[in-house]
Amino acid sequence: MKPFTKMTGVVATMDRANVDTDQIIPKQFLKRIERTGFGKFLFFDWRYLDNHDLNPKFELNRPEFSGASILVTRRNFGCGSSREHAVWALTDYGFQVILAPTFADIFFNNCFNNGALPIALSEDEIETIFQKVEQNEGYQLTIDLEKQEISGDGGLSFSFEVDPFRRHCLLNGLDKISLTLEQEEKILAYEKAHDPSL
């Protein structure tokens, strides 16, 4: 996994609550057996019209959001299915950071396992960012995971917290399976203690 330390990027806003993973990546794209190439299907049902043209009414299709790498949205983002394809679609599209008041649990975990950073801010802080983006075309934020700080033009500065272990893994791009395999002796001891036939 690629380490995540600090990034600056254009912010796209999506003024919707309870965005579920069925919307993020509709099921017809779950039949692929690779991890890559999901970006073009991100928010498929909202993003494209029936004739497959871009839907001009969908927020992310606003020209000023092109190349955005930070997504700001409302509460309970990523609810629903456990499909990691949702995170693969977001990262493949170019999003590295997602800001929302709250996230659904499995989605939240899945992000960290793919080097993406979900950050929970207060409703007020999210609202402030929404306003900044509306008032300033191409508004950018800088996300500093080391310092746990978000900053942007106009004196915007928020701090956030990520649990230390997840932060450590993300900062160093650690492979969790390798970390766990370092505990082989403990796993074996557990298995022996619980299954005497081994």
Q: Is 99 in the site for other proteins (CB under 8 A)?
A: no
- 146 is a site residue for other proteins (CB under 8 A): no
The secondary structure of the chain as a DSSP string is -----EEEEEEEEE--SS-BHHHHS-GGGTT--SSS--GGGTTHHHHB-TTSSB-TTSGGGSGGGTT--EEEE-SSBTBS---THHHHHHHHHT--EEEES-B-HHHHHHHHTTT-EEEE--HHHHHHHHHHHHHSTT-EEEEETTTTEEEETTTEEEE----HHHHHHHHHT--HHHHHHTTHHHHHHHHHHH-TT-
Identify the residue whose tokens are 């996994």: 1
Instruction: Rule CB under 8 A: choose which of 17, 156, 171, 174 binds other proteins.
Output: 17
Residues in contact with other proteins, counted by CB under 8 A, come to a total of 59
Q: Is 105 in the site for other proteins (CB under 8 A)?
A: yes
Cα separation, 73 vs 86, whole angstroms: 15
Least Å from the CB of residue 109 to other proteins? 6
Closer residue to other proteins, CB minimum distance, 9 or 78: 78
Give the binding range for other proteins (CB under 8 A) out of 3-11, 63-71, 149-157, 172-180.
172-180
Out of 9, 13, 60, 84, the only residue in the binding site for other proteins (CB under 8 A) is 84
Q: Does residue 80 bind other proteins (CB under 8 A)?
A: yes
Verify binding: residue 128, other proteins, rule CB under 8 A: no
The yes or no reply on residue 40 touching other proteins (CB under 8 A) is: no
- Residue ranges binding other proteins (CB under 8 A): 15-18, 20, 22-23, 26-28, 30-35, 45, 74-76, 79-85, 87, 101-110, 113-114, 118, 120-122, 161-165, 176-177, 180-181, 183, 186-187, 190-191, 194
